[in-house]
C-alpha cells in the first residue's frame, strides 16, 4: 500500500469500492432479469411461432400429396377442389412466414421454397391438363418428375424448419452464455467484496484499533485494555489531562522555586564577594585589637568596652565565615563511615558549648548504624549546626535527645536515620517551610545560613533533612542517609 | 631567635601580623608577593612562613 495516502482516504476509498461493487452487482442482476425476460419472450414469441409456421408450411405441403393420384383413380373433381384448398393454405402459410421473416437468410429460404413450389405446382398442373386431354405426353416420366420436385420442395421446407431450430438453439446458447458471464461476474464481485471487506477490517484493526490500544496502554499501563478501545482511550486521555493539569501546577510551583533559588544564588554570590572583601581588614582589626589589648592597661569600664568590641568582632567573623561557606560549598571527601561515629565526634566537639548552654545530651543507640558513604567533616558540620540551633532555641537548660535508627523505606531503600530532638519552643507551622531557606532567621544575631547549609550537605550526600516540630513541645531534625551506594 | 616570613598582598594585614609577631619577639620578614618571597625563602633559613593562598601573580600554592 502506498504510504502517501492518508488513512482516511484509504478507508473512504475502500468503503466506496464496497458500495460501488455491491450496487453495480445489484444493477447487473436487475439488467439480467430484464435480459432473460427479453430472450425468453423473443424465444417464445418469435422463434417458436416461426418454427410452428415452418412446420405448418411443411404439413400443408405434405397434405397436397396424393390428391392427384386419387383423382386419376376415380376422376372425382372433389379431390382437385380439396387440393386447391390445401394449396391456398400453403400459400397463406408462406405469406405468414414471409411477413415474420426477420433475417435475409430466412427470406432467401422462403424465396427458394416459393420458386421450387411454383415449379412443382406448374408441373402438377401440366400433368393434370395432359391427363384431362388424354395426351400421349402424359407419361410416368412426368409423374416421376413431379414426385421428385415435391421431394425437392419438402427438402426446402425441412431446411427452413432446420433454420428456425438452429435459431432457437442459438438464442438458447446466447442466454446460457449470458448466464455464465453473469455468474462469473457475480463470483468476481463476491470475491472483490470479501477482499475489500478483509482489507478494510485489516486497516481498521491494524491502523486504528491497534494504535489506539497501544496508545491506551502507553498512557495508562494499569488500565484494562479489554473491551472498548475508544472508551479505554478516552478514559486514559482524561487521566492524562488530569495529570497534565497537575504537572502544570507543579511546573508553575517549581518555576517559582527556581526563581527564588536564582535570586538566592545571586544574593549568595554577592554576599560571598562582600564577605571575602571584609575578611582581610577584619583579620587586621582582630590582630591590632589583640596587641592593643595587651599593651593597654584599662580600667573596668574600658575593659568591658574592649570585651564587647572583641565579642562583636568575633560575631562578625562568624557571619562572614558562614557566608563564605554557604556560597562556596566544599567538595565532599567521602569515605565509608558509620554515622554513629560522627555523632560521637560531634558530642565530643560540642561538649564545652553544651556545658555553657547547660544542655544535657541523651543518646539512644541500639547498635552502631550501618556504614554509609559520607564526608565525616561535613556530616559533623551538619550536626554542629543542628546542635547550635537547638541550644540557641532552648536558651538555658534543655535536653537534646539523639536517636539512631535504621529504616527500610519502600521508596527510598535502606537508610540510616539520626533524629536530633530538642525540648525548645518549637517552630510555628507557618514558618516550618522557611526554616531551611537561606537567610531565614528568627534570631537577632543569626545569618539564616546554618540550617540551610546543613540541609544542603545532607542533600549532597543523597539524603534528606526533615523537620518535625510541634509548637511549644520542641523540634526534631531527622537526618536520613542512604545506606546503598552514595550518589553525588 | 626564630624567623617568620609573612607573604600577603594586603598591606594592612601584613603590617598587623608584623607588629604582633615583633611584640612576641620574633624576627619578621615581609613580602608582598610570591615573586618577592621566593628569593627570601631560597636565600636564608626561615622557621615559619605565613603565606596567603590567593596572591596576584604567583599564588601561595
Mean pLDDT of B18-25: 88
CB spacing of A291 vs B17 below 8 angstroms:
no
Chain B interface, best mutation among A282, A287, A313, A317, by max B CB count within 10 A: A287
Interface predicted TM-score (ipTM) of this complex, two decimals: 0.73
Q: How many CA atoms lie within 13 A of A479 on its CB side?
A: 33
Q: Say how far apart CA A57 and CA A93 lie, in whole Å.
A: 6
CB spacing of B12 vs A284 below 8 angstroms:
yes
Q: Which long-range contacts (CB under 8 A, 24 or more apart) does A458-462 make?
A: A458/A382, A460/A329, A460/A332, A460/A378, A460/A488, A461/A332, A461/A334, A461/A372, A461/A373, A461/A374, A461/A375, A461/A378, A461/A379, A461/A486, A462/A486, A462/A487, A462/A488
Strand partners for A479? A418, A465
Closest-CA residue in chain B for A282?
B13
Q: What are the sequence ranges of the domains in chain A?
A: 7-210, 239-328, 331-482
**Chain A residues with beta carbon closer than 8 angstroms to that of B13:** 280-281, 283-284
CB distance from A283 to chain B under 8 Å? yes
CATH: 3.40.630.10, 3.40.50.1950, 3.40.50.300, 3.30.565.10. Which one for A331-482? 3.30.565.10
A272 touches A329 (CB < 8 A): no
CB spacing of B19 vs A287 below 8 angstroms:
yes
Q: What are the sequence ranges of the domains in chain B?
A: 3-51
Whole-structure pTM value: 0.43
Question: Nearest CA to CA, how far is A246 from chain B (Å)?
Answer: 50
CB spacing of A283 vs B16 below 8 angstroms:
yes
Can you tell me which residue has the cell 546503598?
A: A484
pLDDT of residue B60: 67
pLDDT of residue A3: 54
- 3-class DSSP state for residue A51? helix
Q: What is the DSSP letter of B61?
A: -
Considering only CB atoms, B19 lies closest to which of A280, A283, A291, namely: A291
pLDDT of residue A220: 67
- How many of the other CB atoms lie within 10 Å of CB of A477? 27
A111 touches A95 (CB < 8 A): no
pLDDT of residue A403: 92
Within chain A, which residues score under 70 in pLDDT? 1-4, 135-139, 220-227, 329, 444-445, 484-488
> pLDDT tens digits for A52-104?
888 888 888 888 888 878 888 887 888 888 888 888 888 888 888 888 777 88
Q: Say how far apart CA A215 and CA A213 lie, in whole Å.
A: 5
Which residues of chain B approach chain A closer than 8 Å at the C-beta? Answer: 10, 12-13, 15-17, 19-20, 23
Identify the CATH homologous superfamily for domain B3-51: Response regulator (3.40.50.2300)
Considering only CB atoms, A290 lies closest to which of B13, B15, B20, namely: B20
Q: How many CA atoms lie within 13 A of A483 on its CB side?
A: 15
A86 touches A64 (CB < 8 A): yes
Considering only CB atoms, A281 lies closest to which of B12, B19, B23, namely: B12
Strand partners for A336? A373
**Chain A residues with beta carbon closer than 8 angstroms to that of B53:** none
CATH domain A239-328 topology:
Helix Hairpins (1.10.287)
Q: What is the DSSP letter of A483?
A: S
pLDDT of residue A75: 78
Establish, for the pair of chains A and B, how many residue pairs have beta carbons separated by less than 8 Å: 26
All three cell numbers of A140:
410416368
Amino acid at each position: 500500500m502506498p504510504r502517501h495516502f492518508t488513512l482516511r482516504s484509504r478507508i473512504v476509498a475502500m468503503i466506496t469500492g464496497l458500495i460501488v461493487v455491491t450496487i453495480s452487482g445489484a444493477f447487473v442482476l436487475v439488467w439480467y432479469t430484464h435480459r432473460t425476460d427479453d430472450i425468453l419472450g423473443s424465444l417464445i414469441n418469435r422463434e417458436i411461432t416461426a418454427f410452428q409456421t415452418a412446420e405448418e408450411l411443411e404439413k400443408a405441403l405434405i397434405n397436397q400429396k396424393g390428391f392427384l393420384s386419387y383423382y386419376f383413380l376415380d376422376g372425382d373433381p372433389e379431390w382437385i377442389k380439396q387440393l386447391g384448398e390445401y394449396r391456398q393454405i400453403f400459400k397463406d402459410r408462406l405469406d405468414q412466414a414471409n411477413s415474420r421473416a426477420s433475417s435475409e437468410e430466412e427470406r432467401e429460404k422462403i424465396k427458394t421454397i416459393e420458386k421450387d413450389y411454383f415449379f412443382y405446382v406448374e408441373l402438377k398442373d401440366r400433368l393434370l391438363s395432359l391427363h384431362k386431354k388424354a395426351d400421349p405426353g402424359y407419361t410416368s416420366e412426368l409423374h416421376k418428375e413431379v414426385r421428385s420436385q415435391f421431394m425437392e420442395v419438402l427438402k426446402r421446407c425441412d431446411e427452413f424448419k432446420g433454420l428456425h431450430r438452429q435459431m432457437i438453439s442459438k438464442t438458447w446458447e446466447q442466454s446460457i452464455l449470458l448466464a455464465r458471464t453473469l455468474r462469473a461476474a457475480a463470483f468476481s464481485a463476491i470475491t472483490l467484496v470479501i477482499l475489500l471487506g478483509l482489507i478494510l477490517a485489516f486497516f481498521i484493526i491494524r491502523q486504528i484499533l491497534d494504535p489506539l490500544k497501544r496508545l491506551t496502554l502507553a498512557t495508562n499501563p494499569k488500565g484494562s485494555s479489554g473491551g472498548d478501545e475508544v472508551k479505554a482511550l478516552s478514559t486514559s486521555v482524561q487521566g492524562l489531562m488530569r495529570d497534565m493539569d497537575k504537572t502544570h501546577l507543579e511546573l508553575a510551583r517549581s518555576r517559582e522555586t527556581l526563581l527564588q533559588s536564582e535570586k538566592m544564588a545571586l544574593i549568595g554570590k554577592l554576599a560571598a564577594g562582600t564577605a571575602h572583601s571584609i575578611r582581610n581588614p577584619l583579620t587586621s582589626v582582630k590582630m591590632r585589637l589583640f596587641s592593643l589589648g595587651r599593651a593597654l592597661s584599662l580600667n573596668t569600664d574600658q575593659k568591658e568596652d574592649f570585651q564587647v568590641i572583641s565579642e562583636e568582632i568575633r560575631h562578625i567573623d562568624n557571619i562572614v565565615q558562614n557566608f563564605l561557606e554557604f556560597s562556596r560549598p566544599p567538595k565532599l571527601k567521602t569515605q565509608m563511615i558509620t554515622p554513629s561515629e560522627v555523632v560521637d565526634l560531634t558530642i565530643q566537639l560540642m561538649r564545652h558549648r553544651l556545658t555553657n548552654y547547660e544542655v544535657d545530651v541523651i543518646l539512644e543507640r541500639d547498635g552502631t548504624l550501618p556504614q554509609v558513604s559520607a564526608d565525616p567533616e561535613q556530616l559533623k558540620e551538619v550536626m554542629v549546626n543542628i546542635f547550635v540551633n537547638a541550644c540557641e532555641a532552648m536558651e538555658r537548660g534543655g535536653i537534646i535527645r539523639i536517636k539512631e535508627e535504621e529504616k527500610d523505606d519502600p521508596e527510598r531503600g535502606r537508610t540510616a536515620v539520626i533524629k536530633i530532638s530538642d525540648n525548645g519552643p518549637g517552630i510555628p507551622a507557618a514558618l516550618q517551610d522557611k526554616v531551611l531557606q537561606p537567610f531565614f532567621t528568627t534570631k537577632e544575631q543569626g545569618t539564616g545560613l546554618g540550617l540551610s547549609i546543613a540541609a544542603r550537605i545532607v542533600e549532597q550526600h543523597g539524603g534528606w533533612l526533615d523537620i518535625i516540630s510541634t509548637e511549644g513541645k520542641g523540634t526534631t531534625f531527622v537526618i536520613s542517609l542512604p545506606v546503598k551506594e552514595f550518589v553525588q | 631567635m626564630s624567623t617568620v616570613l609573612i607573604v600577603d598582598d594586603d598591606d594592612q594585614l601584613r603590617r598587623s601580623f608584623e607588629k604582633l609577631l615583633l611584640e612576641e619577639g620574633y624576627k619578621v620578614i615581609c613580602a608582598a608577593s610570591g615573586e618577592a618571597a621566593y628569593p627570601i625563602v631560597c636565600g636564608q633559613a626561615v622557621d615559619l612562613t605565613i603565606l596567603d593562598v590567593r596572591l596576584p601573580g604567583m599564588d601561595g600554592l
